[in-house]
């Protein structure tokens, strides 16, 4: 399992599961920040499938992803994460990331058993920004 400082340099695309159109929601704020840091986001929300969120086409499910997904960033209730982990494995994602406040340990263990980097109850925006800041000498 790679450490984040060796994993992050290879990350290009993040599927944001549960991305909200509401700019006051954490999923929206995190996705916008990830875009600002140079990552491509793939919005995943069945309520908004076919619409554009943050300038990207929103898909209903991970299986509909138009590109290779590096990180599946989950903004869903903890009890909803296991099928998302299964989908992340099925599409060949490299990391299952459960945002702050989200912690499904069965999904975490499943992801790790299938070779994915798995993180729970941590904010991807904060971790990625800290890693980028360390690169810039901040």
- pTM of the full predicted structure? 0.94
- Residue 136: pLDDT band by 50, 70, 90 thresholds? low
Q: Are 114 and 87 in contact (CB under 8 A)?
A: no
Q: What DSSP letter does each residue of 33-88 carry, written as one string?
A: HHHHTT-EEEEE-GGGTTSEETTEE-BSSGGG-SS--SEEEE-S-GGGHHHHHHHH
Give the C-alpha separation, 9 to 6, whole Å.
Answer: 6
pLDDT in tens, 75-123: 999 999 999 999 999 999 999 999 999 999 999 999 999 999 999 999 9
Looking up residue 27, the CATH number of its domain turns out to be 3.40.50.720
* Total domains present in the chain: 1
pLDDT of residue 23 exceeding 70, the answer is yes
Tell me phi and psi for residue 88, to 5 degrees.
-60, -40
Give the C-alpha separation, 17 to 53, whole Å.
Answer: 12
Q: Could you list the residue range(s) of the whole structural domain that residue 102 is in?
A: 4-132
């Amino acid at each position: 399992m790679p450490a984040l400082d060796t994993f992050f340099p290879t990350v290009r695309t993040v599927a944001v599961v549960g991305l909200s159109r509401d700019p006051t929601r954490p999923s929206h704020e995190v996705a916008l920040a990830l875009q600002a840091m140079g990552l491509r986001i793939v919005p995943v929300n069945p309520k908004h499938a076919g619409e554009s969120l943050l300038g990207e086409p929103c898909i209903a499910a991970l299986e509909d992803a138009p590109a290779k997904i590096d990180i599946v960033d989950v903004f869903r209730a903890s009890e909803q994460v296991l099928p998302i982990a299964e989908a992340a494995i099925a599409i060949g994602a490299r990391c299952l990331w459960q945002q702050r406040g989200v912690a499904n340990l069965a999904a975490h263990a499943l992801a790790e058993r299938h070779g994915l980097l798995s993180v729970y109850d941590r904010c991807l925006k904060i971790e990625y920004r800290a890693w980028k800041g360390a690169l810039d000498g901040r």
